[in-house]
Chains A and B, each alone.
Chain A
Amino acid sequence: MPLSFLNPSLLFGTAAAALPIIIHFLSRRRVQRRKFSDLRFLDEVQSRQARSLGIRRWLLLLLRVLAILLVALAAAGPRWGGVGNSSGDRSVLFIIDTSASMGTQMDEGNRLDEALSACEEMIRALPGGAAVQIITGGSLTAPLFGDWLPAGAGAVSGLSVVRLTDGPFDLPAVLREATRVVARAPGSPVEVVMLSDLQKTGQDMRLGPAAIRLNEAGATRFLVRRIGREVPGGGILSIDLPARAVRPGENITLRARVLPAYDEQVFSLELDGKPVAEAVTSGVGTGPVDIDFPVTVPAVGLHRGVVRKESDAFPGDDSRPLVLAVPEAVSVLLIHGPDRPVDSVAGRGGWRYLAQALAPGDGPSPFRVRAIPDSDLTTGAMSASDLLIFVNPEPLGRRGLESLLAWLDQGGAALFLVGDPAQSGYFSQTILPGLGLPVAVEYQSDAGRGQHVRVIDPQHPVFAGLDAEAVATFEEIAWRRWFRLEEGDGAVLLALTGEDPVLIEGTLGEGKFAVLPFDLMPQGSDLAASPMALPFFQRLASWLARPGRLSAAVNTEVGSEAMVRPLQPESGSSIEKTENLRVIDTDGRASGIATLAWQAGVPLLRGGTIVRSGFVTFLAGQDTLGVVAAGIPASESTLELSEVRDWRKMMEELDLDVAGDLTDQAPADFMAALGGRDAAPWLLGLALLLLLLEVWVGRGARLSLSPGPGNQP
């Protein structure tokens, strides 16, 4: 809309343009009829000038109409070239990107500094009657003011509290906040001015519904101002910690995914404040690469670390924190069916073999095993464990099963060994459907020499590092009784000669499980008697009991909630006394009291959404209950920025109206860009010009009005 009006209601004045037309036609009706002596001279002069006079008459009419029209338009406050609402009750919503990428350095300050400066100038350029609201979108997406404020110093002063976050720009969340804000806007349509670097992001399925709700809330018109330009650089995108419990003194590898900025870039790892290892990349421009840091696992406890690189224009991903949990032992709860007289000394299903394999008792073990009959299983016992192992369990009951599945869903880990033919019904009808596996179960028996097993993926963490002889030994074990299963969505780690799977892994929510369709009785297999039984079960249990979301050490990204499963306090403090539960935020400040919650019987400490990269520490008195290491999202390290036209296309596909691009506009000219330049002086000047032209064209008529010889009385 190139031409708009501040006071559209005054456009009724354009009706005055009809006056000359009305007068023209009324005057045409008042034709005097006169007798005249001789028409010869009239005939001569009229035939010579009739055509020009006719044209002049219509030209005069046109000039008069246009002149009045222009004056009427000028009175209505015309604005030329505006892309937004030009009426007086303008509502302008500024969306300021406070994501990590806005910390990219520019010539003066960073992108956020420029966005805030531009926003301030735009607010100052708004007329007094305009209303302003600001939404910041980063780790936290929230309106800056409680309600719409009048444009002015108050709104400008609010910008001083806007801070950079290390989180991503969450456009769906921004649209949701905008929906709430637009619904309360004093004027419509709402001009939504987006101040962002328009960093490239992937598709987000939440965008469509958010855009629909925004459109339902009220009319909006987006204007975008892209801040900054693409700059070269690299960063640390993510860190992979061992997907299993580690033991002190163990040699492990920490793998970091990095984006090198140049060839042979050095990345370093610090642990507990001390340099531990360095890694050098080779090549550049090929995208993210993985680098490995060899690490000897330190003592039991929570260890803070950081991977660093040389700083560049975007400091947000120059270092990435990590927290490594070294548990004293993995707490394993072994649940078995009640022993019967017919069961051997190994217990029902051979559960004692398994307990012995995990904790031999003749030396230190990474596992602390507690065996209970299934009838003694409680939610509290479950939540205190890192891993649950079920061996031929009796039916748990509906509530017991629901608790188990909820615990798994929250990040628990479980291993199921079921090989008793009497359990087939419970196994197939309850356990397998609960885990999301197919229900088809068929009991298999090979009374002869049995079938041997095959390792499907020797690089899987359970088998990685085993030498060939160990693997061969493992594969020589004979299986004689088992349940034939189908893996469904799970993955097969071990399969028999006849291709029946005997080890299936799968996930349930945040949790992880493994199913062994046999037990450890000698009639079923030779596994219990094999020297590979101990390393196999220890590796399997270690891998299942990985430090997950429900650990006291959590590695996550900015924007997520700080949440840990607390360690037991050592100094007698109780987590039940919530006033003792403190949170130290990423800036090292005591940000408040942690919230204690229980989920599926698991205690959880919550410290709120993480805004900045760093460590969130949960304390009870002097005891550290948990640590969360939050790095910036990997997407923020992507330095590619969207073109405005691409962003506009994306918004328009969401049925959101993108009215204009303010990128190349000076912020002080915001009003001109929004409402257009004041066209009234131009229109008035043009009207004056037309009037002068009208006088010139109709000068004959003007002269005839003055008293002449023929008009004298």
Chain B
Amino acid sequence: MSSPLLTPELVGHLGRLDLVARLVVEGFLTGLHKSPYHGFSSEFAEYRQYIAGEPVAHMDWRVYAKTDRHYLKVFTEETNLRATLLVDCSASMDFTGDENRPTKKAYAGYLAAALSYLLLRQNDAVGLVTFDEAPLAMVPARSMRKQLFQVLKVLDDLPTGTGTRLGRVLHRVAERIPRRGLILLLSDMMDDPDRIISGLKHFRHMGHEVVVFQILDPREVDLGFEGEVEFESLEEPGRKIRMEPSHLRESYQQRFEQWRATLRRECRRQLVDLVEITTDTPFEKGLGAYLQKRRRMY
């Protein structure tokens, strides 16, 4: 399912976000030939001739019986899904533990672009909200072709934000998305779990389906630094801690996992899909998680 040519490290060098989005999605869909996913629309549109090697699931056996020819049924695309991407631009998203890996924000941008491309390819409506302590930019959901360029234009120039107040932001965004739809939150979730869950509850209360892509850097997870390190907070410039990570690694990992477990538990309780990915994870994982959710919804 993964595309070896499109690792996060590689797409970082591609530059153009539209190209990234197209390559990621096309590569992903090509790989879907062997997957159980085979189309998303439900309304019949037309027939087309079967080409050897294609799946026979959508073969119209009635036509074959009458004409002795193989035709596949092609379904028309539905456009009733309104998906809104919420991309966290807070300062903590600018972190990367390795110069060869994209920052969390860049990774979120690539993933958001790929998701937008995929959604629009299916004629779903896509919207975008970027935020740090407060909403920064908002692109209302549309299903037009040119919507992709609107979204990519914002994603291509994600601002460097300040601190994270995710709970409050979610509440404010929820108020501004009145129609039910799919909320795709891309964030490191660096805030108090209670406040985050409170915001997510708001979306659920409004009837939204929510998928949370928690994007973390591997170094944040394992604290894999050696020697004496002076850490400076990205969200609170000037605040520093000097330590030997090797001495604290075990305790840190325990505490970090405890925090993530809380998030998992609360998300599950609120029927929110939590997708934990790190910036060295291929984008297909994010896209696959979205497709699973889409399939459950329709």
Interface residues of A (CB under 8 A from B): 27-28, 30-46, 48-50, 53, 56-57, 700-701, 703-705, 708-711
A27 to chain B, nearest CB (A): 7
Contact B225 A38 (CB under 8 A): no
A-B contact pairs, 20 of them (CB 8 A): A31-B229, A31-B242, A32-B225, A33-B232, A36-B231, A36-B232, A37-B190, A37-B217, A37-B234, A38-B188, A42-B231, A45-B252, A49-B247, A57-B244, A701-B246, A703-B250, A704-B245, A704-B247, A708-B224, A710-B218
Q: Give Cα A34–Cα B249 distance, bound, in whole angstroms.
A: 16
Q: Which residue of B lies closest to A702 (CB)?
A: B246
**In this assembly, does B78 line the interface, its C-beta being within 8 Å of a C-beta of chain A?**
no
Most buried by B among A38, A39, A56: A38
Interface size on B, residues (CB 8 A): 43
Contact A710 B224 (CB under 8 A): yes
Q: Give Cα A20–Cα B169 distance, bound, in whole angstroms.
A: 52
Contacts of B297 in A (CB 8 A): none
Contact B255 A44 (CB under 8 A): yes
* A-B pairs, 8 with minimum CB distance: A710-B224, A710-B222, A704-B246, A37-B92, A37-B95, A45-B251, A36-B231, A38-B190
Q: A35-B234, A37-B104, A37-B190 are in contact. Are A46 and B228 (CB under 8 A)?
A: no
Contact B226 A34 (CB under 8 A): no
* B233: contacting residue among A33, A39, A44, CB under 8 A: A39
Interface residues of B (CB under 8 A from A): 92-95, 104, 188, 190, 217-236, 239, 241-252, 255-256, 259
* A33: contacting residue among B188, B190, B230, B256, CB under 8 A: B230
Q: Give Cα A704–Cα B251 distance, bound, in whole angstroms.
A: 12
Contact B233 A36 (CB under 8 A): yes
Contacts of A40 in B (CB 8 A): 190
Contacts of A704 in B (CB 8 A): 226, 245-247, 249
Q: A34-B229, A44-B255, A710-B218 are in contact. Are A39 and B239 (CB under 8 A)?
A: yes
Q: Give Cα A400–Cα B30 distance, bound, in whole angstroms.
A: 149
Contacts of B220 in A (CB 8 A): 36-37
* B241: contacting residue among A39, A48, A705, CB under 8 A: A39
Q: Give Cα A33–Cα B231 distance, bound, in whole angstroms.
A: 6
Contact B228 A27 (CB under 8 A): yes
Q: Give Cα A700–Cα B247 distance, bound, in whole angstroms.
A: 6
Contact B95 A46 (CB under 8 A): no
Q: Give Cα A50–Cα B218 distance, bound, in whole angstroms.
A: 24
Q: A35-B234, A37-B188, A701-B247 are in contact. Are A42 and B252 (CB under 8 A)?
A: yes
* B246: contacting residue among A31, A43, A700, CB under 8 A: A700
* A53: contacting residue among B219, B229, B247, B255, CB under 8 A: B247
Q: Which residue of A lies closest to B163 (CB)?
A: A38
Contacts of B241 in A (CB 8 A): 39, 42-43, 46
Contacts of B94 in A (CB 8 A): 35, 37
B224 to chain A, nearest CB (A): 2
Contact B224 A711 (CB under 8 A): yes
Q: Which residue of B lies closest to A29 (CB)?
A: B228
Contacts of B218 in A (CB 8 A): 709-710
Q: Which residue of A lies closest to B232 (CB)?
A: A35
B242 to chain A, nearest CB (A): 7
Q: Give Cα A36–Cα B220 distance, bound, in whole angstroms.
A: 8
A22 to chain B, nearest CB (A): 16
Q: Give Cα A627–Cα B242 distance, bound, in whole angstroms.
A: 102
Q: A41-B259, A42-B241 are in contact. Are A710 and B223 (CB under 8 A)?
A: yes
Q: What's the dominant secondary structure at chain A's contact region?
A: helix
Contact A35 B95 (CB under 8 A): yes
Q: Give Cα A711–Cα B217 distance, bound, in whole angstroms.
A: 13
Q: Give Cα A48–Cα B222 distance, bound, in whole angstroms.
A: 19
Q: Which residue of A lies closest to B217 (CB)?
A: A37
Contact A30 B190 (CB under 8 A): no
* B230: contacting residue among A31, A44, A48, A56, CB under 8 A: A31
Q: A704-B226, A711-B224 are in contact. Are A49 and B234 (CB under 8 A)?
A: no
Contact A709 B222 (CB under 8 A): yes
Q: Give Cα A49–Cα B251 distance, bound, in whole angstroms.
A: 9
Q: Which residue of B lies closest to A50 (CB)?
A: B243
B148 to chain A, nearest CB (A): 30
Q: A49-B251, A53-B247, A56-B247 are in contact. Are A39 and B231 (CB under 8 A)?
A: yes
B186 to chain A, nearest CB (A): 15
Q: Which residue of B lies closest to A711 (CB)?
A: B224
Most buried by B among A32, A36, A44, A57: A36
Q: Give Cα A45–Cα B226 distance, bound, in whole angstroms.
A: 17
Q: A36-B231, A701-B247 are in contact. Are A41 and B224 (CB under 8 A)?
A: no
Contacts of B250 in A (CB 8 A): 700, 703
Q: Which residue of A lies closest to B242 (CB)?
A: A31
* A709: contacting residue among B188, B224, B239, CB under 8 A: B224
Q: Give Cα A41–Cα B220 distance, bound, in whole angstroms.
A: 10
Contacts of B239 in A (CB 8 A): 39
Contacts of A709 in B (CB 8 A): 218, 221-222, 224
* B235: contacting residue among A37, A44, A703, A705, CB under 8 A: A37
Q: A41-B255, A45-B252 are in contact. Are A32 and B247 (CB under 8 A)?
A: no
A41 to chain B, nearest CB (A): 5
Contacts of B219 in A (CB 8 A): 710
Q: Give Cα A41–Cα B191 distance, bound, in whole angstroms.
A: 11
Contacts of B228 in A (CB 8 A): 27-28, 30-32
Q: A32-B227, A37-B217 are in contact. Are A42 and B104 (CB under 8 A)?
A: no
Q: Which residue of A lies closest to B220 (CB)?
A: A37
Contact A48 B251 (CB under 8 A): yes
Q: A32-B227, A56-B247, A700-B250 are in contact. Are A41 and B256 (CB under 8 A)?
A: yes
Contacts of B234 in A (CB 8 A): 35-38
Contact A53 B225 (CB under 8 A): no
Contacts of A28 in B (CB 8 A): 228
Q: Which residue of A lies closest to B243 (CB)?
A: A46
* A30: contacting residue among B217, B227, B246, B252, CB under 8 A: B227
Q: Which residue of A lies closest to B254 (CB)?
A: A45
Contact A32 B229 (CB under 8 A): yes
Contact A53 B244 (CB under 8 A): yes
Most buried by B among A34, A45, A705: A45
Contacts of A36 in B (CB 8 A): 95, 220, 231-234
B225 to chain A, nearest CB (A): 7
Contact A46 B190 (CB under 8 A): no
A280 to chain B, nearest CB (A): 95
Most buried by A among B224, B229, B248: B248
B1 to chain A, nearest CB (A): 22
Contacts of A43 in B (CB 8 A): 241
Q: Give Cα A489–Cα B249 distance, bound, in whole angstroms.
A: 103
Taking A38-B188, A708-B222, A709-B218 as given, write out 9 further A-B residue pairs in contact, using a Cβ cutoff of 8 Å, ordered by the A residue number: A30-B227, A32-B227, A37-B104, A37-B190, A38-B234, A38-B235, A41-B255, A42-B252, A53-B243
Q: Give Cα A27–Cα B242 distance, bound, in whole angstroms.
A: 14
Q: Give Cα A699–Cα B224 distance, bound, in whole angstroms.
A: 17
Q: A36-B95, A37-B92, A39-B239 are in contact. Are A45 and B248 (CB under 8 A)?
A: yes
B216 to chain A, nearest CB (A): 8
Q: Which residue of A lies closest to B223 (CB)?
A: A710
Q: Which residue of B lies closest to A28 (CB)?
A: B228
Contact A49 B248 (CB under 8 A): yes
Q: Give Cα A37–Cα B217 distance, bound, in whole angstroms.
A: 9
Contacts of A708 in B (CB 8 A): 222, 224, 249
Contact A39 B227 (CB under 8 A): no
Q: Give Cα A44–Cα B253 distance, bound, in whole angstroms.
A: 12
Contact A38 B224 (CB under 8 A): no
Q: Give Cα A45–Cα B249 distance, bound, in whole angstroms.
A: 9
Q: Give Cα A27–Cα B227 distance, bound, in whole angstroms.
A: 8
B217 to chain A, nearest CB (A): 7
Q: Which residue of A lies closest to B280 (CB)?
A: A712
Q: Give Cα A703–Cα B217 distance, bound, in whole angstroms.
A: 22
Q: Which residue of A lies closest to B98 (CB)?
A: A713
* A42: contacting residue among B188, B217, B243, CB under 8 A: B243
Q: Give Cα A50–Cα B247 distance, bound, in whole angstroms.
A: 9
Contact B217 A45 (CB under 8 A): no
Contacts of A705 in B (CB 8 A): 246
